[in-house]
Structure 1
């Protein structure tokens, strides 16, 4: 999944001659915090919402940041790199350019989230497990082996650091199976603490099971 797949059809760039007031109105309408400034097909800079406040009568040319390499991504940039750049610079938009640095469009966090979710494994059928493990003991290879030994495959995985003294991790795993009784038992046998699952281990008591796991997860 690459940058060109996430270009918005609704967000347009600014011109140097645009006023800060106009830029702020566009940002409010599109719910973004940055916009590129494009001249002759090239990104010449970008403006942030905070740099425009109380300067509505000025032109964006006087207020723009010219570090275009910070704000642009190539059209073949992978989604993981896009998320990384947005997180690093606290952007909720990025400008996309081609190999000749010609402006192609804008990516917004909103569109990126919607499209990437629609194409992600999170929409596939299956159940979720959250396990607790120390960072030093974490091994995706071992977790995958345990799951696959019980005929379940990992289709999505996320890691959350609890930032405690023990460097504890919560590992959220989406598996391609609905009923995970054997997977859960195997993980616990290998010393993993199960803090949450939405798998209906017993069809007759699935709601009770889910509630128990949810309470356990919220109390960790």
Structure 2
């Protein structure tokens, strides 16, 4: 699922001649802490509740106040994981989307992103999760995929993240289309891959959970 498909058509951009009062009213109405501001179809930054609410003069236009996150956006063709990462890194609730001409297309809210996450998880269907830890130099998804497919299974999705227990290693989380991990684990361990966790279908873990946990933690949802 890409960013263009997640744009929230119900939330329009603010214009530079809109007032601070209007911006705050819209934030309250749409239940977000930021809103995109555009000038002649170009994204110029986010108006944030934190900065606007401190202003004494609510009749100031947005052209007269400091906007934030001018360089923060995603392109319309980027995956929704990229949207999540931009939101997490910048601790924002809305992510602007631009096209190839750098023109503003719309915003994606955190709720939109969570909905996409839920859809993707549902589409992955039944299966199991394997978590491997390895030095980054040893990481080869093609090799790992070949070993798994030789045991008549397939990788539905994969996610690479730092290994919190070892700064020199990475952690690879795999969603597989099988619930029987016995042969797969034996094969991977024979090739010296270290399995740190496994979750069969029905457990409370799923691929991408690390990203979701980060999203909820940093955005206080």
> TM-score of the superposition, structure 1-length normalised?
0.72
The number of residue pairs the alignment matches comes to 202
CA contact (8 A) 2:131 2:171 kept: yes
Using CA pairs under 8 Å that are at least 6 residues apart, name the structure with larger relative contact order, 1 or 2: 2
Alignment of 1:60-139 (within 5 A): 60-65=62-67, 68=70, 70-79=71-80, 81-99=82-100, 102-119=103-120, 123-139=124-140
Q: What's the counterpart of residue 19 of structure 1?
A: 19
Alignment of 1:43-54 (within 5 A): 43-54=43-54
CA contact (8 A) 1:125 1:176 kept: yes
Deviation larger for 173-182 or 128-137: 128-137
1:81-124 superposed Cα distances (whole Å, 9 cap, x missing partner): 54454455444323334455554321123212312441357632
Deviation larger for 94-103 or 13-22: 94-103
CA contact (8 A) 2:124 2:156 kept: no
Q: How far apart in 1 are the matches of 2:185 and 2:6?
A: 37
CA contact (8 A) 1:117 1:123 kept: no
Shift, 1:65, TM fit: 2.7
Q: Secondary structure at the match of 2:170?
A: strand
Q: How far apart in 1 are the matches of 2:163 and 2:69?
A: 35
Q: What's the counterpart of residue 216 of structure 1?
A: none
Q: What's the counterpart of residue 215 of structure 2?
A: none
Shift, 1:14, TM fit: 1.8
Deviation larger for 2-11 or 24-33: 24-33
Q: What's the counterpart of residue 146 of structure 2?
A: 145
Q: What's the counterpart of residue 190 of structure 1?
A: 191
Distance 1:131 1:52, change over 3 A: same
Q: Larger Rg: 1 or 2? A: 1
CA contact (8 A) 1:21 1:56 kept: no
Q: How far apart in 2 are the matches of 1:183 and 1:49?
A: 51
CA contact (8 A) 1:6 1:112 kept: yes
Q: Secondary structure at the match of 1:152?
A: coil
Stretches of structure 2 that go unaligned for 5 or more consecutive residues are 206-221
Shift, 1:50, TM fit: 2.7
What is the aligned-residue RMSD (CA, Å)? 3.3
